[in-house]
Amino acid sequence: MFYNTLTLLHVLASVIWVGGMFFAHQCLRPAAITTLEPPLRLSLWRGVFGRFFPWVWVSVIALLLSGHLMIGQMGGMAAVPMHVHIMLSIGYLMAALYAYLYFVPFAAMKRAVMAGDWPAAGAALNRIRALVGTNLTLGLLNIAVVFVLR
């Protein structure tokens, strides 16, 4: 029962984080680029990220905590199969990239939007876009690892 609850928490956190990245990168971004001028577009992204990123923090914590607890339930790192080691490594890389994204380019974007410095905000958003694209690829790869290597 406890393991199933951990698995559910793990999957829900993955859906929130990876699904949110997919929506932002593949749906919202193209629509915003084609319909909004830079000041409105950058203000929109500042608001979207301001609402999404707290959920990402919750998801990152839930993923790492539930993942480690499930590993403990399976007997520890020495007992788990290789795909679990791969998933954990990708997960830590994703968490590190997200922390960088949050504390460096997102912080720069917030400051630039508040100051009305649209070129600086746009440059920061481009760095965020690249990092989200990388993390989205890693997240989808991590999901595939579960089914391909298990």
pLDDT, tens digit, 9 for 90 and up, residues 110-132: 999 999 999 999 999 999 999 99
pLDDT, tens digit, 9 for 90 and up, residues 15-50: 999 999 999 999 999 999 999 999 999 999 999 999
- Among the listed residues 148, 19, 16, 34, the one whose alpha carbon sits nearest the alpha carbon of residue 86: 148
User: Cα(97)–Cα(126) distance, rounded to whole angstroms?
Assistant: 15
The answer to whether residue 149 scores a pLDDT higher than 90 is no
Q: How confident is the model at residue 141 (pLDDT cuts 50, 70, 90)?
A: very high
Range of the domain at 82: 2-148
The total number of structural domains in the chain stands at: 1
User: Cα(105)–Cα(129) distance, rounded to whole angstroms?
Assistant: 10
Average pLDDT of the residues of the chain:
97
Phi, psi of 4 (to 5 degrees): -65, -40
